Structure 1
Amino acid sequence: MHERAAEALGLRGHYQLIEVAGADSAGLSMMLEGVRRLGFAGVNVTYPYKEAVVPLLDELAPGAAAMGAVNTVVVRDGRLIGHNTDTTGFARAVAPLLAPADNAVAVIGAGGVGKAIAFALASQKVSDIRIVDSEPARAEKLASLLNTNGTKVGARVASSVEDALEGATGLINGTPVGMLPNRDTPAPPALLRANLWVADAVYSPLITPLLAAAQAKGARIMTGRELAIYQAADAFELFTGLAPSTEIMGEAFDAVMAARSAAYQAA
């Protein structure tokens, strides 16, 4: 996506995967120091390091500081500055689903992506955010951050997905559950209904077991495609100072997903 967007703008761009498995703080710090010294414009940070990198950076943009999670690190004058374009990207992606009556949304997951989703909902004036997480303390922390951040949100911890969905108009999965090769769903299909919209941050596959179950109930759905594209577009603009074509980035995303799907089916 980044390389295609750069090409369309007449730039020479290189986006390099840096595979880091099981890194501790020292390992992440070493990698970030390499980013600082080797001339990168910046890097994206993915699961499970979005919170772990926060104390290793020189500065945080206000949004990233508020939630304590970073998915984009920009290098400016030798300083590493953390941003969160998952939040801005998801806000752009979810806006078409939201109606004035959408004041109660259930969010599954309070990790790095779940935090970004919850803050994105707050930025879209959703006033009732129900958070459920396998670690209640993590959900409590996110609810507290939302309620004390001047967002005018009534965030609360839900005891279960069923509790979170009581009277809700939307459901969002902010966990890796359902990402290939995992085929589980974070919400029992019996709880889904036609008058509920359902979104998933997972994009591999695009139609996760959760979204397939929601479709079967007649619910509106949103795949992880839009979040993936919009967060990348916002990161690209931070890296380069130029606004990319989301249409071109979308074409690049679709080409990669089609190739992945073909490879998975062949296997």
Structure 2
Amino acid sequence: MTTYGLIGKNIDYSFSKSYFNTKFNNEAIKAKYINYDIEDIKEIKQIVNNSIELAGLNVTIPYKEAVIPYLDEIDSQAERIGAVNTIKIENKKMIGYNTDVFGFTKSVFSLIAPNHDSALILGTGGAAKAIRHALVSMGYQINFVSRDKEKGDFTYDELNAEIIKNHQLIVNCTPLGTHPDVNQFPPIPYEFVDKTHLLYDLIYNPSITSFLAQGRENGAQIINGEQMLIAQAEKAWEIWNGQ
């Protein structure tokens, strides 16, 4: 049976396995989707070599960047982004793509307001790189926020009323708040968030994270990552099937 799967670490919570297996069942597709929860990205070679019917993989935290050296080819957009979340496998040859840009753009486009022209991206990992690429393509001015001054434009301690006011879109690309650690959240000054802001959390479980809840309490519009995941999953399916 044709097999697809997810490469990641601590991925019991994953949306992808449930989504694709439901899709296969509903559409009478003879395929299965399984999780590959691995401790080291180098294990991907063994997985591909030992799985005769493996046709495609999704890649999630913490391997979106680390997987690149193990690929045989990489799509030009994914190479520019510097992160891969989808792999097509042909005769054990791995070709890397990024569907996060497509998924994010599709999910957020209708929510963009005229006053939204600058964004804070919380985090600097592979997902953050894809979101940056998407937002720059949409004409946004971007600033990264990181705990490490060398990785971001601002540290969390540097965020103040003026910075928050001048960035109407705030995107959480960190894992803070993911189930089961639902009480965690990025340490931004939420008291300066108001109704002019849109807070976007790539996390989808829980549906309302502490990050989103605090934004909503201050009047901000909020959206979680579920629609992005659905869109990028369908784009991955197209890639795997040459559509």
Q: Which moved more, 1:8-17 or 1:48-57?
A: 8-17
Q: Does 1:219 align with 2:223?
A: no
Q: Paired residue for 1:56?
A: 70
Structure with the larger helix share? 1
Which residue in 1 is equivalent to 2:95? 81
Separation of aligned partners in 1, 2:137 and 2:20: 26
Q: Give 2:185's aligned amino acid.
A: T
Counterpart position of 2:170: 171
| Aligned residue type for 1:74 | K
The percentage of aligned residue pairs carrying the same residue is 31
Distance 1:12 1:67, change over 3 A: same
Cα shift at 1:69:
0.8
5 Å-filtered alignment, 1:1-267, equals 1-20=19-38, 22-23=39-40, 25-34=41-50, 37-126=51-140, 128-139=141-152, 157-159=153-155, 160-162=158-160, 164-182=163-181, 183-186=183-186, 187-241=188-242
Distance in 2 separating the partners of 1:138 and 1:108: 11
Please state how far the C-alpha of 1:7 moved relative to its aligned partner.
Answer: 4.0
Letter in 2 for 1:4: T
- Counterparts of 1:164 and 1:72 in 2: how far apart (Å)? 34
Q: State whether residues 41 and 240 of structure 1, in contact with CA within 8 Å, keep that contact through their aligned partners in structure 2.
A: no
Q: Structure 1 stretches of 5 or more lacking a match?
A: 140-156, 243-267
Distance, in Å, in 2 between the alignment partners of 1:123 and 1:98 is 14
Structure number having the greater strand percentage? 2
Contact 1:63 1:83 in 2 (8 A): yes
User: How high is the TM-score relative to the length of structure 2?
Assistant: 0.83
Unaligned runs of 5+ in 2: 1-18
In 2, distance between residues paired with 1:48 and 1:74? 19
CA distance in 1, matches of 2:131, 2:138: 11
Deviation digits for residues 175-213 of structure 1 (CA, Å, limit 9, x no counterpart)? 001112221211232232121110101111110001011
Tell me if the contact between 1:158 and 1:164 (Cα under 8 Å) persists in the aligned partners: no
Sort the Cα spacing of 1:31 and 1:188 in 2 relative to 1 into closer, same or farther, 3 A.
Answer: farther
TM-score by length of 1: 0.76
Q: Does the 8 Å contact 1:71/1:83 carry over to 2?
A: yes
Size of the aligned set, in residue pairs, is: 220
Contact 1:198 1:220 in 2 (8 A): yes
Root-mean-square deviation over aligned CA pairs: 1.9
Higher RCO (C-alpha 8 Å, min separation 6)? 1
Is the alpha carbon distance of 1:28 and 1:188 closer, same or farther for their aligned partners in structure 2, counting shifts above 3 Å?
A: farther
User: 1:33 Cα shift?
Assistant: 3.5
Match of 2:6 in 1: none
Q: Offset at 1:38?
A: 1.8
| Contact 2:120 2:169 (C-alpha < 8 Å) held by counterparts | yes
Partner SS state of residue 134, structure 2: helix
Distance in 2 between residues matched to 1:82 and 1:202, nearest whole Å: 23
> What do residues 124-143 of structure 1 show as CA deviations (whole Å, max 9, x unaligned)?
222x111111233333xxxx
* Residue identity in the other structure for 1:197: L
